[in-house]
């Protein structure tokens, strides 16, 4: 047997082993990435729920303005009714 043939056989064997191990690792990473994708989707859904339930400061400011306007109208109505009762 020629020494170059022996080196080629050993090199091809090692190369095949390395490729097999890389293929196994690739399959593992592919499965992990699917799990991460599903987890990412779940986190996005939870984030959307939080966004729907969370009140922004601007929203609360608008609510306060509306509430004060309503209270002012009620105060005016009460004042008017009191004035009418005094007459």
Rounded Cα distance between 59 and 48, Å, is 17
End-to-end Cα distance, the chain:
127
Rounded Cα distance between 67 and 15, Å, is 76
What string of pLDDT tens digits covers the 87 residues of the chain? Answer: 789 999 999 999 999 999 999 998 888 877 777 777 778 888 899 988 888 777 777 778 888 899 999 999 999 999 999 898 887
Confidence (pLDDT) at 37: 76
Rounded Cα distance between 71 and 84, Å, is 20
Confidence (pLDDT) at 60: 80
């Amino acid at each position: 047997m020629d020494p170059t043939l022996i080196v080629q056989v050993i090199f091809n064997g090692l190369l095949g082993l390395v490729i097999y191990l890389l293929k196994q690792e690739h399959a593992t990473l592919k499965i992990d990435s699917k799990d991460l994708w599903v987890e990412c989707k779940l986190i996005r859904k939870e984030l959307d729920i939080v966004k729907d339930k969370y009140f922004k400061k601007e929203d609360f400011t608008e609510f306060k303005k509306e509430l004060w306007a309503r209270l002012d109208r009620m105060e005016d109505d009460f004042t008017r009714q009191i004035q009418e009762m005094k007459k």
